[in-house]
Amino acid sequence: MDGKQQWRLFLSLLVAAAYAAPALAQQPPAAEPSAPAAATTPPAKKPPKPKPPAAPGTPAPNAGPAATVAGGSKPTFLAQYGDWGAYTATPGGKKICFAIAKPASSETTPPGKSRNPSYMFIASRPADKVSDEVSIIIGYPFKPSSEATVAVGSTSFALYTQQDGAWIKNAAEEAHLIEAMRAGQNAVVKGTSAKGTRSTDIFSLKGLAQALDRSDQDCK
């Protein structure tokens, strides 16, 4: 398995872990149960002693296996800026800082094709001398050897694909992509699945600049 495949697998786990706690926190409270009939209800068991609350900004302990990623690291939530969340993690003792968002809208052609959630993930890995690397998890296997695109305004950037991941094809353009995203309103990602389905995901860029500033600050 090459380095990019390893990073793609790790990225999938990191994304799932980052979203596990917020998803649980946003669950609506359960409805109050109605009073049971006294004659048919056995005595209630003594409730277990409540556990102390988890430290702020860490995934919930019952968030599932994805909450612990490679190296035993759990993402730490820093702050939410608009549509982007800022996080850090330390897998294997190597710090990662990242901003992440879900698309504001998604559609497929033909319409209504099912797929897993998609995400855009911008990470800095100081130990690997990587700064603001854009990764996209698209939610389906890309058509083999196909390219995807990400467009900000009138400027489009080619992405190379591998399984369900996409990265900028020309690494020299990545800084220009980040600059455009910091100043833009939306990023439009288009790709084609292995089954020939075309997808269009529109990511709001509201809050991205602040989320990157915060995550980059933690990786200095």
Cis peptide leading into residue 144 (ω within 30°): no
| For the chain, counts of helices (H) and of strands (E) | 3, 11
User: Structure tokens of 195?
Assistant: 């089954």
Digit-by-digit pLDDT tens for the chain (220 residues) are 444 555 555 666 666 666 664 443 333 333 333 333 443 344 444 444 444 444 333 333 333 333 444 455 678 899 999 999 999 888 878 888 999 999 999 999 999 888 998 999 999 989 889 899 999 999 999 999 999 999 999 999 999 999 999 999 999 999 999 999 999 999 999 999 999 999 999 999 999 999 999 988 888 7
Q: Report in angstroms the alpha-carbon separations of 181 from 19, 186, 208, 209.
A: 22, 8, 8, 8
Write the DSSP string, 144-186: TT-EEEEEETTEEEEEEEETTEEEESSGGGHHHHHHHHHH-SE
Per-position DSSP letters for 75-122, written without gaps between them: -EEEEEETTEEEEEE-GGG--EEEEEE--SEEEEESTT------EEEE
Q: Does domain 3-20+64-218 have CATH number 3.30.2290.10?
A: no
Residue boundaries of the structural domains of the chain: 3-20+64-218
